[in-house]
Amino acid sequence: MKTGQDTPLNPTINDIARVAKVSLATVDRVLNARPGVRDKTVQKVHKAIADLGYVRDTAAANLARGRIYNFVFILPSNSNEFLSSLETQIDALSRGLRHERTRLSFIHVAAFDPVALAKAIDSLDTQAIDGVAILGPETPSVRDSIAHLKENGVTVVSLVADIPSSERDHYVGIDNIAAGRTAAQLLGRFLGPQQGKILILTGSMLARDHLERRLGFDEVMARDFPHLQVLASLEGRDDPDLIERLIPGALFDNGNVIGIYSSAAGNEGLLRFFRSGACHPKPVVVAHELTPLSREALAGGLFDAVISQDTGHLVRSAVRVMRAKRDKMPINAAQERIRIDVYLKENMPPE
Amino acid sequence: MKTGQDTPLNPTINDIARVAKVSLATVDRVLNARPGVRDKTVQKVHKAIADLGYVRDTAAANLARGRIYNFVFILPSNSNEFLSSLETQIDALSRGLRHERTRLSFIHVAAFDPVALAKAIDSLDTQAIDGVAILGPETPSVRDSIAHLKENGVTVVSLVADIPSSERDHYVGIDNIAAGRTAAQLLGRFLGPQQGKILILTGSMLARDHLERRLGFDEVMARDFPHLQVLASLEGRDDPDLIERLIPGALFDNGNVIGIYSSAAGNEGLLRFFRSGACHPKPVVVAHELTPLSREALAGGLFDAVISQDTGHLVRSAVRVMRAKRDKMPINAAQERIRIDVYLKENMPPE
DNA sequence: GTGAAAGCGCTAACAA
DNA sequence: TTGTTAGCGCTTTCAC
């Protein structure tokens, strides 16, 4: 055995109270940075904490506090499979967490609409809420609204698309540049030496995740596959109907499209187009997000690869991070890093 | 808002004691299936539990119990990057869990040696241990040793390679058949229409994970890529030196090897061979496990794809599962499913 | 500024 | 067979 040989019991607040020669209440005050303690006393306590290597037992703390964490997810009101999966996961986790003093809820805001998003954020009751997870565009008004949340002590995480210029505490989602690079690599390798054009479906130029994917995609295409010509992005606004209408024209105008990178939501439109039989030979397709529809497409050979992020992990991670930030506890970076999942029909998870 | 609208506080044992008209102690006895309660009383309590929808607060329970979970990992004494990563993760998690009443340790057993494994399991002090995670071969003696653990109330999970014929409580690891299928798909797609032979490096025929990978690999090769000829497995016993010695002969004997599936540990040997410059043109290579060495090979183009399982997830999942089983709590299947990660040089996680 | 004491939800002696 | 009571580690009144 290499670890856990001896079992020196962890010090408790009783120990530090004893060592610092103060009462439990005082230890608690400095632990929680509450006012009304003389500076000298604070020092004494901190010294004892450091000397004993004290780490607070959050489970016991929460039990005593009777605290209930209240977290809100703000999501686009758009309807697509990825979002409903996210919502399903929130509901499921919410049920599981009812018995761990944590309440989750979500609200909807018009997609790609920074003004509506800012308004929704501003309308939140900062007194009643401990943390907010935001999936939406990055604009000055959104940044301001986030700053306002932070001022009022609310923890903020960005979800799926980062808002790095804001004061958000953490970003929960994949590295979208790397995701775009991965898509390019797959498409390029699968196509082999043949020459032709690549069509890119995106959602909106306002969505940071979509932009970043395109960036990464172009970079690898230019570097490794110069014989493939990447066309301008088709903006589908994550809307299946719009996408279905746009595709035929784009394909016809350009000719010789041998690959498609569907980098946003709305796969349904693309699939409807394929199923109409209007496309021979079928281009190699790399799409995003594993959903019932994309699974089927993968299984049936309509999609060749799907790049995905696990919505369950996304939601669990957002909640863990918001809790940790709230408790001023450290987060485990490795556990919270959302993986860029690559799915072929062979490694799709069951169900 | 869709969820968490109202906040009906969860019932506690006080509530069920009141409803069932018994004392706290009796409720506790029923809850923990302790003896010495009249059947009729048990019924009453169960009814109250059901009526109120009571769910035990494990955090409070553990606090009161002062219980310390003691979990042991049994790992091959083999030295390779995957195993050391696993050990690093165990150590790291162990440190993090010191303050959550959980102690982790690991012991080493000669690799691919069922007798040594069974002996190691038998030598465990079942009184002092709450759970064991086992990474090793599946044989009758191992099964018996596991049965013995179970009889003594120890939770058992199999790790990385399943031992389905035993009474293990859970398997923590990837679906190795699907992993093999994925490798075949990648190799086949990357190679395109060219004809040639595929070399397979395996560890040991005793290792169930290795066997399953080969199974899945062959299935997809036969179905989708009949123009590729899959050779017999080269048994490298996860030993870099042995592998380096075996490869040249295998390549020479067969000729026209255009793809390699390195399905076990010991990538180092393969890489040393490549770096000796003895191989032109370099075959397309799909390997297993993301490690410092395989990262480098991926980045440098020596490996074309790496199939992996996250050792951090593996360890965390094993611990969560052992804890849940110990507490007779349900596990979240989705969270505990270990993903088959596919890495290209583009989507390697940082560091 | 500081401390004493009650209590969060549960368990475990010890009595009865 | 059942109940009483004193904690687990921490927070939070309410006094001093």
Domain assignment of residue A35, given as a range: 13-56
In a domain, A343, yes or no: no
Nearest to B80 by CA among B246, B233, B269, B216: B269
In a domain, A7, yes or no: no
Is the pLDDT at A4 greater than 50? The verdict is no
Taking the C1' atom of every nucleotide in all shown strands and the CA of B36, the nearest one is D1
In a domain, A255, yes or no: yes
Average pLDDT over residues A174-197: 97
Are B190 and B293 found together in one domain?
A: yes
Domains in chain B: how many in total? 3
Q: Minimal Cα–Cα distance from B14 to chain A, Å?
A: 15
| Residue A220 pLDDT class (50, 70, 90 cuts) | very high
The residues pairing with A103 across neighbouring beta strands, listed in sequence order, are A70
Task: Print burial letters for A258-287: b (CB count within 10 Å at least 16), e (below 16).
Answer: bbbbbbbbbbbbbbebbeeeeeeeebbbbb
Looking at residue B35, its amino acid is P
Taking the C1' atom of every nucleotide in all shown strands and the CA of B15, the nearest one is C9
Strand D bases, protein C-beta under 7 A: 1-14
* First and final C-alpha spacing in chain B: 39
> What are the 10-residue block averages of pLDDT along chain B, 351 residues in total?
50 94 95 92 94 91 89 93 96 89 94 96 93 96 97 96 96 98 97 95 94 98 97 92 92 90 93 84 95 96 97 97 90 94 94 77
Burial class (CB in 10 A: 0-12, 13-18, 19+), B2: middle
Q: Which residue of A has its CA nearest to B180?
A: A346
In a domain, A73, yes or no: yes
β-pairing, A305-308 vs A341-343, is antiparallel
**How far is it, in rounded angstroms, from Cα B52 to Cα B30?**
15
B194 neighbourhood in chain A, CB within 8 Å: none
Q: Which has the higher per-residue pLDDT, B98 or A213? A: A213
Are A321 and A303 found together in one domain?
A: no
In a domain, A347, yes or no: no
Q: Which residue of A has its CA nearest to B332?
A: A96
Which residue of B106, B182, B304 is in closest CB contact with A346? B182
Per-residue pLDDT, B3? 37
Average pLDDT over residues A224-232: 96
Is the pLDDT at A276 greater than 90? The verdict is no
Q: Please name the residues in contact with B274: beta carbons below 8 A apart, sequence gap of 6 or more.
A: B282, B297, B302
Q: Phi and psi of A48, rounded to 5°?
A: -60, -40
B94 neighbourhood in chain A, CB within 8 Å: 3-4
Q: Which has the higher per-residue pLDDT, A7 or B181? A: B181
Query: Is B94's CB within 8 Å of A63's CB?
Result: no
Q: What CATH number should be reported for the domain holding residue A32?
A: 1.10.260.40
Using CB atoms and an 8 Å cut-off, which of residues 155-184 of chain B contact chain A? 178-179, 181-182, 184
**How far is it, in rounded angstroms, from Cα A257 to Cα A47?**
68
Are A294 and A261 found together in one domain?
A: yes
Per-residue pLDDT, B255? 84
| Residue A8 pLDDT class (50, 70, 90 cuts) | low
Quote the percentage of chain A above a pLDDT of 90: 82
Query: Is B220's CB within 8 Å of A346's CB?
Result: yes
Per-residue pLDDT, A135? 97
Query: Is A7's CB within 8 Å of B62's CB?
Result: no
Per-residue pLDDT, A42? 94
Query: Is A7's CB within 8 Å of B103's CB?
Result: yes
Tokens describing residue A23:
């009462």
Using CB atoms and an 8 Å cut-off, which of residues 258-297 of chain A contact chain B? none
Are A224 and A329 found together in one domain?
A: no
Per-residue pLDDT, A307? 98
**pLDDT for A58-78, tens place per residue?**
889 999 998 889 999 999 998
pTM of the model: 0.92
Query: Is B4's CB within 8 Å of A94's CB?
Result: yes
Per-residue pLDDT, A93? 94
Per-residue pLDDT, A118? 98
Are B208 and B100 found together in one domain?
A: no
> Which of the listed residues B5, B36, B56 is the one where a domain comes to its end?
B56
Per-residue pLDDT, B2? 37
Q: Mind giving me the DSSP string for A131-173? A: EEEE-S---HHHHHHHHHHHHTT-EEEEESS--TTS--SEEES
Are B198 and B289 found together in one domain?
A: yes
Are A280 and A299 found together in one domain?
A: yes
Nearest to B72 by CA among B107, B110, B100, B98: B107
Strand C bases, protein C-beta under 7 A: 1-14
Are A218 and A285 found together in one domain?
A: yes
In a domain, B2, yes or no: no
Q: Please name the residues in contact with B197: beta carbons below 8 A apart, sequence gap of 6 or more.
A: B228, B229, B230, B231, B254, B255, B256, B257, B258, B259
The answer to whether residue B3 neighbours chain A at the CB level (below 8 Å) is yes
Are B167 and B218 found together in one domain?
A: no
**pLDDT for A111-163, tens place per residue?**
999 999 999 999 999 988 999 999 999 999 999 999 999 999 999 999 999 99
Q: Phi and psi of A159, rounded to 5°?
A: -125, 130
Taking the C1' atom of every nucleotide in all shown strands and the CA of B55, the nearest one is C9
A156 CA – D12 C1', rounded, Å:
28
Find out whether A118 and A145 touch, Cβ atoms under 8 Å: yes
Are A185 and A285 found together in one domain?
A: yes
> Which residue's CA lies closest to nucleotide D5 at its C1' atom?
B25
**pLDDT for A297-313, tens place per residue?**
999 999 999 999 999 99
Using CB atoms and an 8 Å cut-off, which of residues 297-316 of chain A contact chain B? 304, 310, 312-313, 316
Judged by phi (left if over 0) then psi (alpha if -120 to 50, else beta), residue A65 lies in alpha
Handedness of CA B219, B220, B225, B231 (dihedral sign): negative
What does strand C contact on the protein, if contact means CB under 7 A? Answer: A 21-26, 29, 36-38, 40-41, 60, 63-64, 66; B 9, 12-14, 24-25, 28, 31-32, 54, 56-57, 60-61, 63-65, 67
In a domain, B347, yes or no: no
DSSP state of A128: T
Are B304 and B316 found together in one domain?
A: no
Query: Is A3's CB within 8 Å of B182's CB?
Result: no
Mutate to test the interface with B, among A191, A342, A351 (most CBs of B within 10 A): A342
Q: Where would I find the H helices in A233-336?
A: 240-254, 267-275, 292-300, 311-326, 333-336
B304 neighbourhood in chain A, CB within 8 Å: 189
Find out whether B239 and B77 touch, Cβ atoms under 8 Å: no
Q: Which residue of B has its CA nearest to A344?
A: B182
Q: Which has the higher per-residue pLDDT, A3 or B288? A: B288
**pLDDT for B118-138, tens place per residue?**
999 999 999 889 999 999 999
Taking the C1' atom of every nucleotide in all shown strands and the CA of A32, the nearest one is D11
Are A209 and A300 found together in one domain?
A: yes
Q: What CATH number should be reported for the domain holding residue B323?
A: 3.40.50.2300
In a domain, B5, yes or no: no
